[in-house]
Structure 1
Amino acid sequence: MSRVRTPSKPCLHQIMAIRVSSRRPLHCILSDFPRIPSHHPQKIRSFSKPTDPPRRIPTESPADRRFSQQSSLANILQRYCFPEPKLHEFIQKNRFLLNYRPSDVEKCIGILQSFGLPMNSLPSILPSCPSALELGFLRKWQTGFSKLGFPTVSSSLVQKVLEQSGRFQIEPEELRRSVQFMKNVGFSGETVSEVFEELPLSLTSNSTDISRKLDILKNVGLKRAEIDKVCCQFPGFLALSFEGRLRPLFEELRDLGFTGNEVRKTILDYPKLLLGMEVGELSRCIELLNNLKCRPAIKEKILRKGLLRAGIDVKLRVDCLCQHGLIHRDAFKVLYVEPRSIIYDLEDMEKKIEFLLHKIGLCIEYLVEFPEYLGVNLEKQVIPRYNIIDYLRSNGGLGFDVGMKHLVKLSKLKFYNFFVKPYPECEKIFGGSVREVEAKPRHPTGLWKLFKPQKFSDSKEDIRNMKQFMETLV
């Protein structure tokens, strides 16, 4: 059975400690306990007042709220033709847009549309000027456009200015000062609009530089209205370097012997072409014309409007050939070998090149080897010959390769004998027969008898004279 444990009696030293402690004063006993730290009386909260209510747990985290704002902005931009693949990158680069309310973004897009901007212009404006979705920024420019003094501000001008304002930090007041200067020098509203639509505002703010460029046009005889017309057709003239391009160009024109009247007429007819030429380019065109070796009739047709206009014609054709892939050296070589291409219209050259590249399937470099292609008639020679060769090739009638030389270098009779005469069905494609035919008499049969001289009988005296003459010979 289990033993009951009885409590042990306290020992003598324990009894003595209790007695001693009971004799100590109360303040000494309390001093042995740990002290409670003291607090400022203002920070101690009264237990008589009700405590603050517990904070509510947020139902939406900051990350979720950020994602919701990003989705709302993306939906608005996508609705207005902003490309979906670029949305994420655009929003990540411009996180400040997430602080704007969707209603304010909608108002900004409404203001942009009130400027006449199409919906598909947003992808062009916003990457360079994201501030266009800021309501205060747009209202500032809305007021600035109304102070320009134009009856209507074109949408292209608004788009150009907004793009530049975001990139170069341009203010409406800077634009207003530049517009006022353009009007003061004599530019019409149409010209001013064209200039600011094409050129950055930084290039039009230098009034001294623009005045020097206008003076160089006045020196060749252009009047104020004519200068306005030139700048309207070629606003890039105001962006050209005066010392690097314009001054050397006009010195070159003077050195080539052209009068101010010739230069003035050519500028009015071809402002962009002449004023946009590189230094030395016109001299090369004139050198080509002076070294041409062709029939006098062809050279006379080339120079019928003057040497400067002929140089412009050479420049136009060189640019046409270079646009299709030829280098400048080869383009000049083609024109030198085949000067008839300078006489023909530029549209005719374009048609021949298009036919060569897309119908025949040859590259542009073939013109260097066969420049005669640009001198022959496309409708009367090239197309009929190509149709015959294509027909024979499709029917297995060709036993050898046919190239450009058969299209342009063979005479009509030789081409007929080679490719048409053996195949009578090709004569209709060729456009008529060139077979040799027997020459027909020009007069009816027997008509010669009417013109036969009358025969007279010989007299005795005639016979005696003939005998005497014969005897002298013996």
Structure 2
Amino acid sequence: MASKLKPFINLLRYTPNRSLSSNPSSQSNYRKQISLANLLQRHGFPPSSLQHFLSKNTFLSNSDLSQTEASLSILLSFKLPQKQLVSLIHDCPNVLRPNFLKKWRAPLSGLSSSSAIKSILEHSSRFGINPDKFHQCTKVLKGLGFCDSTVSKVLESFPNVLALSEIEIHRKVEFLVNIDIPPSDIERFFHVFPEILGISIESKLNPLLDEFIRIGFSKEEIKKEIFREPRVLGLELGELSRCLELIKSLKCREVIKDEIIEKGLFRAGFEVKVRVDCLCRHGLIRREAFKVVWKEPRVVLYEVDEVEKKVEFLTNRMGFHVKCLADVPAYLGVNFRKQIVPRYDVVEYLRLRGGLGCDVGLKGLVKPSMKRFYNLYVKPYPECERIFGKRREDARVRKQRHPAGLWKLMKPPSHVTTEEDVVNMKSFVESLA
């Protein structure tokens, strides 16, 4: 019986402030808010934020419920995932206004990318973009020879392209051709870095190329790096210089520094910029992010996905704040699967069973050597051997200096005794007598 009542109870979690007055109009408004809340909940809207959302967007309570339901039906026809649908409604509630989605239903029906549809609806609701501008923009992009996936990528990553004129788009293409980007690779360039459409040529792109030359890079090297990674043109003025200064001032082992600059200083500087941006996206300010990379340069050697995995594990699983990286940057320089996860699992196991005398912070988790950590937290507790990955067996294998069976290959061949050897030996013995 309780399981049958559960969906009904969930729909009533939102309870608007009901007036004590017996005025029929207030009662009608109350019923309308309940119906609207139930409608939004059926489409995945979280009950905890409904009251604030409806109080902030009173036009939904004043509009006809059937029109709101029709707008939601149109959104569902775009096949948006529930998470994107809720995010779109929460960030841009104007998409539920009467007649807004009706004019976009036909133009967006040809798009297969739900992310591109979400970006277009958000941008058009905020800046009043009409479907006519959408038709003109897609016509210009397809006129350049772009396929549907590239057009969707541009609309998804840079929806402000809807506000650009045809001349502005063609100027960006001419700029790429002038820096010797082959025409056959223009589409790939826009697919990887569509944000270039929003960067000014006079105030940003040309001064950026001049800066690269002033630093000391040749035109061929600049062209090669831009062709390899179009996002290079998204660097801020002076940003590459700062990254190169950081690399030159590194105080680490030479083998690490050599590996960082193995593919050239230009690429190394850009890789530093990418890691700094990654740390800033997770909550560090740029000064802190540069400090972390300078103290732990091994972070440059890890892929960005690996760095993000470590930061997300630090904040979501381990419960530390991202600011802890400024104090313990070594966390980003150790192996995630072989060191971070096993050590955390052991410490968490002991903490839950009261086996720790004090809390083990991030520094105490990362800084100890493998042998010290094993002796402190694993060796006294046999049940932790399995969690830590059976280090005893691994250690025993590492102690073997040579592969098993190598002695058989190194054993000298045995000497076969012939009749002549026997005669010689007898003659020698007789001579001694």
TM-score where L is the length of structure 1: 0.57
**Equivalent residue, structure 1, for 2:286:** 328
Supply the AA of the counterpart residue of 2:276: V
1:164–1:170 contact (8 Å) kept in structure 2: yes
AA at the equivalent of 2:286? H
Aligned pairs (5 A) from 1:43-442: 78=39, 81=43, 92=59, 120=85, 123=89, 127-128=94-95, 130-132=97-99, 138=103, 145=107, 152-154=110-112, 156=114, 168=127, 170-200=129-159, 204-272=163-231, 274-358=232-316, 360-383=318-341, 385=343, 402-415=360-373, 423=380, 425=382, 428=385, 431-432=391-392
Q: What is the distance in 2 between the residues matched to 1:106 and 1:361?
A: 41
| Inter-partner Cα distance in structure 1 for 2:279 and 2:126 | 37
Deviation of 1:114 after TM superposition, in Å, equals 6.4
Contact conserved, 1:303 with 1:310, CA < 8 A, in 2? yes
**Separation of aligned partners in 1, 2:186 and 2:221:** 16
Q: Quick one: which amino acid aligns to residue 231 of structure 1? A: F
Deviation at 1:403, TM superposition (A): 4.5
In 2, Cα distance between the equivalents of 1:414 and 1:82?
50
Aligned CA distance change for structure 1 residues 189 and 384 (closer, same or farther; 3 Å): closer
Structure-1 separation of matches of 2:184 and 2:134 = 24
Shift of 1:346: 3.4
The structure carrying a bigger helix percent of its residues is 2
CA distance in 2 between partners of 1:189 and 1:320 (Å): 29
Higher alpha-carbon deviation: 125-134 or 86-95: 86-95
For residues 225 and 276 of structure 1, the distance between their equivalents in structure 2, rounded to whole angstroms, comes to 21
- The one-letter code of the counterpart of 2:237 is V
Residues 213 and 238 in structure 1, CA contact (< 8 A), matched pair in contact too: yes
1:168 Cα deviation from its structure 2 partner: 4.8
Q: Give, in whole Å, the separation in 2 of the partners of 1:207 and 1:300.
A: 46
Helix, strand or coil for the counterpart of 1:294? coil
Q: Which has the larger radius of gyration?
A: 1
Q: CA deviation at 1:287?
A: 1.3
**Cα-to-partner distance string for 1:308-347 (whole Å, 9 max, x where unaligned):** 2222321232223223332222222222222223223334
The 1-side partners of 2:296 and 2:147 are apart by 44
CA contact (8 A) 1:198 1:235 kept: yes
Q: Deviations over 1:41-70 (max 9, x none)?
A: xxxxxxxxxxxxxxxxxxxxxx99xx89x9
Q: Which amino acid aligns with 2:180?
A: G
- Show the counterpart of 2:20: none
Residue identity in the other structure for 1:432: R
Instruction: Provide the C-alpha distance between the structure 2 equivalents of 1:173 and 1:387, rounded to a whole number of angstroms.
Output: 57
Which runs of no fewer than 5 residues in structure 2 stay unpaired?
1-23, 400-433
Q: Offset at 1:416? A: 5.6
CA displacement 1:227-281 (0-9 Å, x = unmatched): 2122123322212233443333333223233344444444455434x23332222
What is the alpha-carbon root mean square deviation over aligned residues? 4.9
Report the Cα distance in structure 1 between the residues aligned to 2:296 and 2:354, rounded to whole angstroms: 34
**Alpha-carbon distance between aligned partners in 1 of 2:69 and 2:169, rounded to the nearest angstrom:** 41
SS at match of 1:246: helix
**Greater displacement, 362-371 / 409-418:** 409-418
Distance 1:229 1:238 in 2: 14
Judging changes above 3 Å, is the alpha-carbon distance between structure 1 residues 260 and 186 closer, same or farther for their aligned structure 2 residues?
farther
Quote the residue 1:457 is aligned against: none
Aligned residue identity for 1:228: E
| Alignment check: 8 A CA contact 2:261 2:268 kept | yes
Contact 2:315-2:322 at 8 Å conserved across structures: yes
Letter in 1 for 2:210: E
Check whether the contact 1:288–1:336 (CA below 8 A) recurs between aligned residues. Answer: yes
Distance in 2 of aligned mates of 1:309 and 1:340: 15
Q: Does the 8 Å CA contact 2:111/2:117 hold for their aligned counterparts?
A: yes
1:355 CA drift (Å): 4.5
CA–CA distance in structure 2, aligned partners of residues 416 and 117 of structure 1? 49
Q: 1:245 to 1:393 in 2, by over 3 A?
A: same
Contact 2:280/2:289, CA 8 A, preserved across alignment: yes
Deviation at 1:160, TM superposition (A): 5.5
* Higher mean C-alpha deviation, range 110-119 or range 274-283: 110-119
**Residue pair 1:335, 1:341 contacting (<8 A) in 2 also:** yes
Q: Secondary structure at the match of 1:222?
A: coil
- For 2:68 and 2:346, locate their aligned partners in 1 and report how far apart those are by CA, in whole Å: 66
- Does structure 2 retain, via aligned residues, the 8 Å contact 1:109–1:133? no
Q: For residues 427 and 229 of structure 1, what CA distance do their matches in structure 2 show?
A: 51
How many positions carry a matched residue from both structures?
Answer: 356
Report the Cα distance in structure 1 between the residues aligned to 2:131 and 2:349, rounded to whole angstroms: 67
Q: Is the Cα–Cα contact under 8 Å of residues 256 and 283 in structure 1 kept in the other structure?
A: yes
Q: Supply the distance in 1 between the matched residues of 2:230 and 2:70 (Cα, whole angstroms).
A: 43
Q: Percent identity?
A: 39
Kept in 1, the 8 Å contact 2:137–2:161? The answer is no
Deviations 1:393-431 (Å, cap 9, x if unpaired)?
A: 66766666654554444445555666667x374884572
Q: 1:181-232: per-residue Cα shift (whole Å, max 9, x none)?
A: 3344443444334334454567543333333322332233212232212212
Q: TM-score under structure 2 normalisation? A: 0.62
* SS across alignment from 2:392: coil
Q: Is 1:317–1:346's contact at 8 Å kept on the other side of the alignment?
A: yes
